[in-house]
Chains A and B, each alone.
Chain A
Amino acid sequence: MNPVVASITYRAMLGRKRVWLLALLPVALLAIAVLLRLVGGGDESTAVTVLETFAIGAMLPLLGLIAGTGVIAPEIEDGTIIHLLSKPISRPVITTTKFAVAATLLVLFSAIPTFLAGYILIGTEAGVSASFALGALFGSIAYAGVFLLIGVVTRHAVTVGVIYALVWEGLIGRYVPGARKFSIQQWAQSIADQYSASPFVKSDVPLSFAVPAMIIVTVGAVLWAGQRLRSLSLTGDE
């Protein structure tokens, strides 16, 4: 971890308009929760549906994409990364720090709002809010690692990320049960299922697979990103 790298990255992510990119979805989630609560839709099954489809199914991967790629891809794109790379700090330290920044931002903008939305809807009933927040927390960390890696590996990080999140996890994962095994979203869902007492929460991937998979993918992605940054080629305008 390097505090200078972290502070520059936080400033880049949270500066002025950029913060709205991260805040928009959680604000929408909370607004939906408040609205449902006001019209009297605050029952367990509705809460689970909202958290499952919106919080874990849409907000988590999209924020993961914004934060995970956002901590590094724009800097590689516009060449500002050269400021960090031309210093005597190891490249894996840079990627690990950026991973930590992305993960903490995701906890702040995804896991915590997930808990709050659940709490607004049904309080602490059946442990739904806490278990989805826990799922979102671990999902955040895994997404941060994977999208950071994509941000280092390809100049088309956002495109690749959208294809993974929407096409693989969203579309293929919906119709092909086998694909769900390799979906961060489903792993987060498994964790939520495990710790909630609600009969409405279901998951397809056993926890015994989801947790090790999550750890291996996250650690592997962060390590690989560090190695890729070591051999990052920056070309001039020629």
Chain B
Amino acid sequence: MSVLELTQVSRWYGNVVAVNDVTMTIGPGVTGLLGPNGAGKSTLLHMMAGFLAPSGGTALLDGRPIWRNHPVYRTIGLVPEREGVYGFLTGWQFVRSAARLHGLPDEAAARALDLVEMTPAKDRRIETYSKGMRQRVKVAGALVHDPQVLLLDEPFNGMDPRQRLHLMDLVRELGAAGRTILFSSHILEEVERVAQQIEVLVAGRHAASGDYREIRRRMTDRPHLFRVRSSNDRRLAAALIADPCSGGVSLTPEGLEVRTEDYRRFTGLLPRLARDLDVHLWQVSPTDEDLESVFSYLSGRS
């Protein structure tokens, strides 16, 4: 059982603050590091992996500093986001080299390749692999020494749905077996499926922390803005404003703008009203559903 501990960690590049005063403890099980692109997830992960020195604060693995301490790699397995693989090697040669660098026999490499289902393609050069295959070979390279801690930077990017599910299962199994696993992602659904614990990073700050139900609730229980176009906007507006779930309705030339405090109730109410009033709905679209606004709402509140 290994524990990663960040205490008031900051990292800046010149005048730009990439990670700002983050304190978190990552223990056994699967933790998802969630945040929009550019939130500092990679920077944070690099500090946990010993590839970047914190500008302030400490990053420890089981009480020992990670930076400039190569023995930590007996405990850590790292899957970087950038390619990080030698295209001129075959999958087998790549994973075997990882095993040998750990002083392990070739069987360890064979086992790791099997784990990611890359055994059939192991004798092809990596440069002939698809992005998902490269990703899996990298995972095999990181798992070769059966590490206590596994760090994965956007691991599901570029994988097809089947490969994605397979890797998600693998990550979940490793977490259930007591490994400490942290992976970063900008997709809530991905994190939700795999992680028990979610840490949200927004603009370099630790914005929220909790299990996925908690995070999901925080993300849906917020004012939503919808644009609605229908065959009779005025009639629909009158009915909507009568219900307590609408915070405000305005008529615009492009249709109705409805602000709702209760997402669940509103999404049930709208089709029912339309049917009862005999109004045809042409368009219902959330106007602030992009992740950035969800994240900024979250970080503004916590």
Is chain B found bound to chain A in the same assembly? yes
Interface residues of A (CB under 8 A from B): 2-5, 7-8, 11-12, 15-16, 78-80, 82-91, 230-238
Known: A87-B73, A236-B42. A79 touches B89 (CB 8 A): no
Could you give 7 example pairs across A and B, Cβ below 8 Å? A11-B88, A82-B82, A83-B98, A86-B49, A88-B73, A237-B82, A238-B18
Q: Does B217 contact A (CB under 8 A)?
A: no
Chain B residue nearest to A79 in the complex (CB):
B82
Q: Which of B40-86 contact A (CB under 8 A)?
A: 40-43, 45-46, 49, 51-53, 68, 70-74, 76-78, 80-86
Interface residues of B (CB under 8 A from A): 13, 18, 37-38, 40-43, 45-46, 49, 51-53, 68, 70-74, 76-78, 80-86, 88-89, 94, 97-98, 100-102, 141-142, 153
Closest B residue to A89 using CB positions: B101
> In the complex the two chains form, what is the Cα distance from A85 to B88 in whole Å?
19
A80-B85, A238-B40 are known; give 17 further A-B pairs, CB within 8 A: A4-B101, A8-B89, A79-B80, A80-B83, A80-B84, A83-B84, A83-B98, A83-B141, A85-B51, A86-B78, A87-B102, A88-B72, A88-B73, A89-B101, A231-B68, A237-B42, A237-B82
- CA of A90 to CA of B68 in the docked complex: distance in angstroms? 10
Docked CA distance A89–B71 (Å): 7
The residue from A2, A79, A232 contacting B83, defined by CB atoms under 8 A apart = A79
A80 in complex: contacting residue of B45, B74, B86, B153, CB < 8 Å: B86
Q: Contact: B141 with A88, CB < 8 Å?
A: no
Q: How many A-B residue pairs have CB under 8 A?
A: 97
User: In the complex, what's the smallest C-beta–C-beta distance from A75 to chain B, in angstroms?
Assistant: 8
Contact of A236 with B45 at beta-carbon distance under 8 Å, contacts A11-B89, A83-B84 already known: yes
Please report the C-alpha to C-alpha distance between residue A82 and residue B86 in the assembled complex, in whole angstroms.
11
Known A79-B84, A237-B42; contact A86-B76, beta-carbon cutoff 8 A? yes
A88:B70 contact, CB within 8 angstroms: yes
**Within the assembled complex, what's the spacing in Å between the Cα atoms of A12 and B85?**
12
- Smallest Cβ distance from A14 to chain B, in angstroms? 10
B19 to chain A, nearest CB (A): 10
Residues of chain A with a CB closer than 8 A to B100's CB: 3-4
A88 touches B18 (CB 8 A): no
- A82→B100 CA distance, assembly (Å): 15
> Hey, which chain A residues are within 8 Å of B42, CB to CB?
235-238
Q: How far is the CA of A230 from the CA of B13 in the complex (A)?
A: 19
CB contacts (< 8 Å) of A16 on chain B: these are 88
A232 to B67 Cα, complex, angstroms: 10
- Alpha-carbon distance A214/B288, docked complex (angstroms): 66
Evaluate contact between B80 and A2: CB separation under 8 angstroms: no
10 cross-chain pairs, A with B, having the tightest CB-CB distances, nearest first: A236-B42, A87-B101, A79-B82, A234-B51, A88-B73, A86-B78, A82-B84, A4-B100, A88-B74, A15-B88
* Structural contact, A88 and B71, CB atoms closer than 8 A: yes
**Cβ-defined partner of B73 (8 Å) among A11, A12, A86:** A86
Least CB distance, B95 to chain A, in whole angstroms = 10
Q: Which residues of B contact A82 (CB under 8 A)?
A: 51, 78, 80, 82, 84
Which of B85, B98, B153 lies in contact with A236, CB distance below 8 A? Answer: B153
Q: Which residues of A contact B98 (CB under 8 A)?
A: 83, 87
Distance in Å: Cβ of A18 to nearest Cβ of chain B:
9
- Which one, B83, B101, B142, contacts A78 given CB within 8 A? B83
A12 touches B51 (CB 8 A): no
* Distance in angstroms between the alpha carbons of A78 and B88 in the assembled complex: 14
Contact B43 A236 (CB under 8 A): yes
Q: B71 contacts which chain A residues (CB < 8 A)?
A: 88
What's the minimum C-beta distance from B129 to chain A, rounded to whole angstroms?
14
A8 to B94, CA, bound (A): 9
| Most B Cβ at <10 Å: residue of A2, A89, A91 | A89
Distance between Cα atoms of A235 and B86 in the complex (Å): 19
| Contact partners of B13 in chain A: CB under 8 A | 235
Contacts of B82 in A (CB 8 A): 78-79, 82, 236-237
The answer to whether A8 and B80 touch (CB under 8 A), given A91-B70, A236-B42, A238-B43, is no
Note all chain A residues with C-beta closer than 8 A to B68.
230-231
Residues on the A chain within 8 Å of B84, using CB: 79-80, 82-83
- Nearest CB on A from B48, distance (A): 12
Shortest Cβ distance from B77 into A: residue? A86
